[in-house]
Amino acid sequence: MRNFYDEYDLYYNGDESDSFGFADPGGKSTLRAASKKNPRKLPCPTCNAPNRLTPADRANGYQCESCADADMVKL
């Protein structure tokens, strides 16, 4: 059974300098930083491009940056 700390570890790789695990702190990206516990090994669910998302990104329902940018243009 997973507990709060397991979930926290999924989203946070333990480095306080990275603004709680974001790949681009202060930037436009909401993707999480890749780490040993959270490798960027999953395909984008929208375009199926390989190695675009981490397990934390998938858990949050994210897509790759290219697809997210394309969706913003449609707005």
List, run by run, the mean pLDDT of 10-residue segments along the chain (75 residues): 47 48 84 92 97 95 94 82
Full-model pTM: 0.70
Q: What is the pLDDT of residue 72?
A: 85
Per-residue pLDDT at 74: 80
Extents of the domains making up the chain: 4-74
Backbone angles phi, psi at 42, to 5 degrees: -105, 150
pLDDT attached to residue 42: 97
